Amino acid sequence: MAPRYDIVSQGEELLAGQAVDTNAPWISGELQGLGLRPGRVTVVGDELASIRRVLEESAQRAAVVVCTGGLGPTSDDLTRDAAAAAFGVPLEQSPEALAQIEQRYRTRSRPMPPTNRVQALLPRGAELLENRMGTAPGFVWDTGSCLLFFLPGVPFEMRPMLVEHILPRLRGRFALAPRKTVLLRCVSLAESLAGERMAGFERPGVTVGYRASFPEVQVKLHVEAGLDAAALTEEARERLGSQHVFGVGTGPLASVVGGLLRARGETVATAESCTAGRIAADLTEEAGASDYFRGGIVAYANSAKVEVCGVHAALIEQHGAVSEAVARALAEGVRARLGSDWGLAVTGIAGPGGGTAEKPVGTLHLACAGPSGTEHSCVRLPYDRLRNLSVSVALALDLLRQALLRQT
């Protein structure tokens, strides 16, 4: 069995619910990738006795403990003291740690406040871990049966320390079966359906994890070294339905669509009614989006559809604003107005109000106008307002993605 790790997240704001602990999930992902088994995550506040007790318990139970937080210079930063108490040693000034802290201040051309000297205190016998990004050094304590790592709680300081110092050391210490992780990103596929389709896929050396990041579903394959990860990925893609897998190890859907457009030297413009700018926002999340995104129209009121996007008022009167005819007119209108290769349009009823018997809440018309004509699709979404809007954005982007893939 692989050795177990515990994670200790120290911070009153985490314990009191004023902040969500994002360090533990991230660290857990890294340690699992290495082949270690998770034990427990404990969140503990600013109380010396509590921190000490958690450290003692975790050191008893786990082979590896990663503790974040409580290494700052203020009086509520108690992890150093708690660690020294747990290991039965005094705190001692580390000249090396002090030099690193002083160096950080010199680099920033700022004087070091005297209170920061306390950050150079380490439990006697602990090994220093340099913090390249901040003033709180980390340290390691080895009980013989357990390696305990102490890191600052600020994510952008903590993460490089884990990657640069801790992961290599764990690889050296334990005979771990390294695993390759493959991330398949899916759209228009419910998590439960993904689970059903992947049932029975696990085999010796292969585990499967799921993560719903609504409306996207991510399927993670953990594959031990020596197995054919590429063939397993292909098999998983087939099972999930290759049209649903918009990326393997890629960025989000909008970034995949942007990449397809950029590769073709083509551009898109958006006409959004209910989604009101959310497709445009997604398409511009990455720098350089101006290569493929020209702009769009948020046609919320009917007058905006008519005045700005050139939809005939008669069309809206005849079919209603939420209709195939208006979706097509919006897509073609914005494509013409902005001179783009593609026009992508959405009109729907996100809810909770605005539904009728004929067009209930959740009705969504999508259209994609391109060089060889306009495609349309219509769905009925079952979620609440904000989730209906998220799915609408994903469906629109996926309509464009499918059209781009079909185009040769």
Beta strands in 289-330 (DSSP E): 293-298
Q: What does the alpha-carbon distance between residue 339 and residue 73 come to, in Å, rounded to a whole number?
A: 57
For residue 310, the surrounding DSSP H or E stretch is none
Find residue 65's DSSP bridge partners.
Answer: 6, 148
Q: How many CB atoms within 10 Å of residue 328? A: 23
Find residue 367's DSSP bridge partners.
Answer: 345, 376
Q: State residue 56 phi and psi, 5-degree precision.
A: -60, -45
Q: What does the alpha-carbon distance between residue 326 and residue 307 come to, in Å, rounded to a whole number?
A: 14
Report which of 292, 269, 270, 252 is spatially closest to residue 347, judged by C-alpha positions.
270
Which is closer to a copy of itself, CB of 82 or CB of 97? 82
Which is closer to a copy of itself, CB of 50 or CB of 250? 50
Shortest Å distance, C-beta 293 to a copy of itself: 6
Angle subtended by helix axes 385-406 and 253-264, to nearest 10? 30
Shortest Å distance, C-beta 289 to a copy of itself: 7
Which is closer to a copy of itself, CB of 12 or CB of 92? 12
Which is closer to a copy of itself, CB of 234 or CB of 307? 307
Which is closer to a copy of itself, CB of 78 or CB of 126? 78
Shortest Å distance, C-beta 126 to a copy of itself: 24
Tokens of 234: 């292909």
Q: State residue 190 phi and psi, 5-degree precision.
A: -70, 150
Shortest Å distance, C-beta 116 to a copy of itself: 15
Which is closer to a copy of itself, CB of 164 or CB of 307? 307
Shortest Å distance, C-beta 402 to a copy of itself: 22
Q: What does the alpha-carbon distance between residue 122 and residue 136 come to, in Å, rounded to a whole number?
A: 11
Which is closer to a copy of itself, CB of 19 or CB of 405? 19
Shortest Å distance, C-beta 220 to a copy of itself: 8
Shortest Å distance, C-beta 100 to a copy of itself: 23
Q: How many CB atoms within 10 Å of residue 127? A: 14
Q: What does the alpha-carbon distance between residue 279 and residue 153 come to, in Å, rounded to a whole number?
A: 34
Shortest Å distance, C-beta 350 to a copy of itself: 8
Q: How far is CA 239 from CA 185, 195, 257, 368, in A?
A: 13, 10, 23, 28
Shortest Å distance, C-beta 276 to a copy of itself: 4
Q: Which residues of 33-51 are buried (b: 16+ CB within 10 A; e: fewer)?
A: ebbbebbebbbbbbeeebb
Find residue 159's DSSP bridge partners.
Answer: none
Which is closer to a copy of itself, CB of 40 or CB of 262? 40
Which is closer to a copy of itself, CB of 241 or CB of 277? 277
Q: Which residues of 242-251 are buried (b: 16+ CB within 10 A; e: fewer)?
A: eebbbbbeee
